Amino acid sequence: MNGDARPDRVVLDLTVGAATTCRVVVSLGLAGGGFAPPQPYGYLTLPAAEPNCADMGVGLNLDADVAAELAVTWFAGPPTTVPNTLLVLDNFRVTRGFNTVFQPSYIGTADFDGDGRQDIYEWTDQGEGFVSYLATGTGTVVPGPVRHCSGPLDHRLADFNRNGAMDVVIAYIEGCGAYFSGVVVVRDDGSLYHLHTDVAGLDSWTVETGDVNHDGLVDVTTHDQSTGEIATFISLGNGSFVRSPVAVRDYPTVSGSKATGIQVLANDYATDRTRVTIWTPPQHGTVKVTTNRTIIYTPNPTHGATDTFVYRLTEDGRTSNAAVSLRIVD
């Protein structure tokens, strides 16, 4: 809060007497660790009969100085005497107000435009859904393109298209658009990529993110709360996805005199849970699947220059087959 690059502790509270004083209580971080004694700062005075002080907030740098500002808001909406839903405190004094989500369930920060500056996002289950607000660097915020209108939601932030700007995947119900429920990726430019959609709203989902195939990209896993079905979507690194599993044809060169290991999963869309089996065996050799899901091809003593077999991927009730076309070299 004072620009010394050490983390500070800030608590929102209030005192009630002849009037209600809304306060931020700040404990500055110390060089050797720990915090200094708390210091209260009043930022808003309300009637004693309306002790409705801000109950959530974030710290971020909205202007050109090194010290952070505080952005505070109300879960139940602002008091009647305050015309804005979000107040900015600079040096613990109200300097600006903005009209953002009316009754947010949460306020957080992320860089939604890749400029290296933290922006604000809020989400609510009261109908506005998820909304971002971009920091301009001059003390103000403006509505950002990352937004999705719905009722209750479950979300995860990730940079799915690897451009340095945050995206978000949202599992929602009571959608404001064509679908009552679904799972959607909102890219940093506001474009949408739908993973699940349900016009009638009979299904709903939860969502998790993680690198399920160890390629360094953030993937999405959903869980259908009605059927229990698990679906995994493999990121392509550009904000789009492929639902696992998908087997892709291989064209390896193998030895005609000894066994050769074939990493069939290297170009497939699969996770650690994907099972590999042989669907159609080769004509001029044998194959077996190892515990690490490598396929070992062993040629017959008499063989031609080519051979083919088909393998199957199975995951969460879904299957995908692909052929392996072998070039045999003695």
* Segment 90-116, tens digit of pLDDT: 999 999 999 999 999 999 999 999 999
In a shared domain, residues 45 and 138: yes
Residues whose CB falls within 8 Å of the CB of residue 43, separated by 6 or more in sequence, listed in order: 22, 23, 24, 87, 89, 92, 93, 94
Do 184 and 148 form a contact (C-beta atoms < 8 A)?
yes
User: How far apart, in whole angstroms, are the C-alpha atoms of residue 123 and residue 107?
Assistant: 7
pLDDT, average across residues 82-93: 96
Q: Are residues 161 and 285 in the same domain?
A: no
Query: Same domain, yes or no, for 35 and 127?
Result: yes
Q: Within this chain, do residues 232 and 315 fall inside the same structural domain, yes or no?
A: no
Is the omega angle on the peptide bond into residue 245 within 30 degrees of 0, that is, cis? yes
pLDDT attached to residue 64 = 84
pLDDT value for 66: 82
Residue-level pLDDT at 1:
87
CATH of the domain at 263: 2.60.40
CB 27 within 8 A of CB 9: yes
Share of the chain above pLDDT 90, in %: 95
Query: In the predicted model, what is the mean pLDDT of residues 105-133?
Result: 97
Which among 112, 142, 172 is the end of a domain? 142
Question: Of the residues 212, 243, 274, which one is the last residue of a structural domain?
Answer: 243
In this structure, are 80 and 158 located in the same domain? Answer: no
At residue 50 the predicted structure's pLDDT band, cuts being 50, 70 and 90, is: confident
User: What is the per-residue pLDDT across 197-227, written as a single tens digit (0 to 9) for each?
Assistant: 999 999 999 999 999 999 999 999 999 999 9
Host domain of residue 192: 149-243
> Are 7 and 134 in a shared domain?
yes
Q: Does position 67 have pLDDT exceeding 90, yes or no?
A: no
Among the candidates 117, 142, 167, a domain finishes at: 142
- One-letter amino acid at 42 equals G
Mean pLDDT of the region 297-322: 97
pLDDT above 90 (res 65)? no
Residues 30 and 133 in one domain: yes
Q: Is residue 207 part of a domain?
A: yes
Cα–Cα distance for residue pair 290/78, rounded to 1 Å:
62
Number of structural domains (the chain) is 3
Residues 13 and 129 in one domain: yes
Residue 248 placed within a domain = no
Model-wide pTM > 0.85: yes
> For the segment 154-213, what is each residue's pLDDT rounded down to a tens digit?
999 999 999 999 999 999 999 999 999 999 999 999 999 999 999 999 999 999 999 999
Q: Answer yes or no: do 98 and 217 share one domain.
A: no
What is the pLDDT of the chain when averaged over all its residues?
96
Q: What is the SS3 assignment for the chain?
A: CCCCCCCCEEEEEEEECCEEEEEEEEECECCCCCECCCEEEEEEEEECCCCCCCCEEEEECCCCCCCCEEEEECCCCCCCCCCCCEEEEECCEEEEEECCCCCCCEEEEECCCCCCCCEEEEECCCCCCEEEEEECCCCCEEEEEEEECCCCEEEEEECCCCCCCCEEEEEEECCCCCCCEEEEEECCCCCEEEEEEECCCCCCEEEEEECCCCCCCCEEEEEECCCCCEEEEEECCCCCEEECCECCCECCEEECCCCEEECHHHHCECCCCCEEEEEECCCCEEEEECCCCCEEEEECCCCCCEEEEEEEEEECCEEEEEEEEEEEEC
Is the model's pLDDT at 253 over the cut of 90? yes
Check residue 101 and give its pLDDT. Answer: 96
Residues 6+ apart with CB under 8 A from 108: 58, 120, 121, 122
Mean pLDDT of 34-61: 95
Which whole number is the average pLDDT over 39-54?
A: 94
pLDDT of residue 221: 98
Whole-angstrom distance, CA of residue 24 vs CA of residue 241: 44
